A and B are shown apart, each in its own frame.
Chain A
């Protein structure tokens, strides 16, 4: 990938900031999401909660289904491929997807290597639990990062943990002497230049969203107040009682994440939230996929 193309891909993520990216499984859901104010949609065959319930191997979605969603909306369309499955990524590039999510939500195709994302022209977003993972994905060519959280649970605890961990590691590096960065780069198993960027700028070199377990306007605002630049909402919307209303409320809560009076109003009468599973009840920890 040329430097120019990588810059453009990072810049598309900048345009998504302050927005909500929603998981959708049909053109109809995609239209509801766009109508509700989604800044992009993630096209997938089954939302994480259903993937979790169904078990078995979970793969990239049918390209025909993704194309149907591309035709239904004017906002960017993202889609997931399996960790390490570069052919699924090639297919998504061939249908001109706007962003590929190399995602732990699907079953990993490679238990050692992630995709060499530098070899692609389309942008990638990847999940991370901590700074080391984030910088390793960026080094591989990711132009956007999201917390892994724990998808399909409706439980925000892991997204919070990952965001706080990343923030505290960034703060630590910012406070280091420059001659300590070489050792830090070694510990994190990432190139010195990326650690230096974090040291000088106090942030990741790409946009960082929250994902995994966000189910309410309050969850979304919590992640924003913790420093997320936007939010992915997966199962939380279309597994709830009133998807359109909940989606619109989450969008407004992200735009005004510091206004508790407004968020209180937005949280009224949303109908039933997704039932959710607690962290301790989960049999499969998706966040542990891909390091």
Chain B
């Protein structure tokens, strides 16, 4: 099984190490030509969402990837990756893929002095170490997509924007705040599973990729 990892900026090497350890093949996505190879899942790593989003667009990877995510490509977005997936950012006008019906707040814990490490329960997995680096969190779940903020998807119906019937599942909370969600084949975490020894988030993602196959 081959997993594509967005590799334009950020901590992509850490995800690749994890995936290789778990027996998956990896493909670095740096430009449009890389999308011609086949892959069964996508990881959007931590880093700066403004940089990654801009490079996705300028290197012409944005639309093909967004379309594949809408069509059900399994995707794991961590920190900046969660921001790229989110339908709305409460403290930023930008919207990137917008495929995950949640509203996130960027830098929600403040500057670097607000970064922290903890442990919390993740649904179906158990207690997991969590590293938050200038992290966002999910402020609220979105039930109906806002046509105005659909990042180029103005003409889509609500069903086309959010095709999954089941809605967003909250996977984890820390001090009451939502820090991990799943919607269809999209998993978003506010923390960085690639930075800790624990492999279970990546295993859950790979399991999702296998089920999709």
Contact = CB atoms under 8 A, between A and B. Distances in A.
A176 interface: no
Given A8-B133, A252-B55, A255-B55, A122 B10 contact: no
B156 interface: no
Interface in B84-129: 91-92, 106-107, 110-113, 115-117
B11 A15 contact: yes
Interface string A6-37: 01110110111111000000000000001001
A142 B79 CA distance: 24
A202 interface: no
A75 interface: yes
A78 to B, nearest CB: 10
Given A74-B92, A75-B50, A255 B115 contact: no
Nearest to B7: A18
B133 A15 contact: yes
Given A17-B47, A74-B92, A76-B134, A122 B112 contact: yes
Interface string A39-52: 11000000000000
A211 interface: no
Contacts of A38: 51
Interface string B5-17: 0011111111000
A218 to B, nearest CB: 18
Contact of B112 (A9, A252, A259, A262): A9
Interface residues of A, number: 37
B139 interface: no
Contacts of A251: 51, 54-55
Contacts of A248: 58
Contact of B31 (A39, A93, A259): A259
Chief secondary structure at chain B's binding surface: loop
A16 B52 CA distance: 11
Contact of A15 (B31, B48, B58, B107): B48
B196 to A, nearest CB: 10
B55 A37 contact: yes
A63 B11 CA distance: 30
A262 B10 CA distance: 20
Contact of B110 (A11, A14, A96): A96
Nearest to A95: B111
B131 to A, nearest CB: 6
A37 B80 CA distance: 14
Nearest to A38: B51
B59 interface: yes
Nearest to B115: A8
Contacts of A4: 117
A37 B54 contact: yes
Greatest chain B CB density within 10 A among A8, A40, A123 is at A8
B195 interface: yes
Contact of A8 (B9, B79, B131): B131
Contacts of B18: none
B12 A18 contact: yes
Nearest to B106: A74
A7 B115 CA distance: 10
Closest 7 CB pairs of A and B: A255-B8, A98-B112, A18-B9, A39-B48, A8-B115, A96-B111, A14-B11
Interface of B: 7-14, 30-31, 46-48, 50-51, 54-55, 58-59, 79-80, 91-92, 106-107, 110-113, 115-117, 131, 133-134, 192, 195
Given A17-B10, A70-B111, 6 more contacts: A11-B195, A17-B9, A76-B111, A96-B111, A122-B112, A255-B30
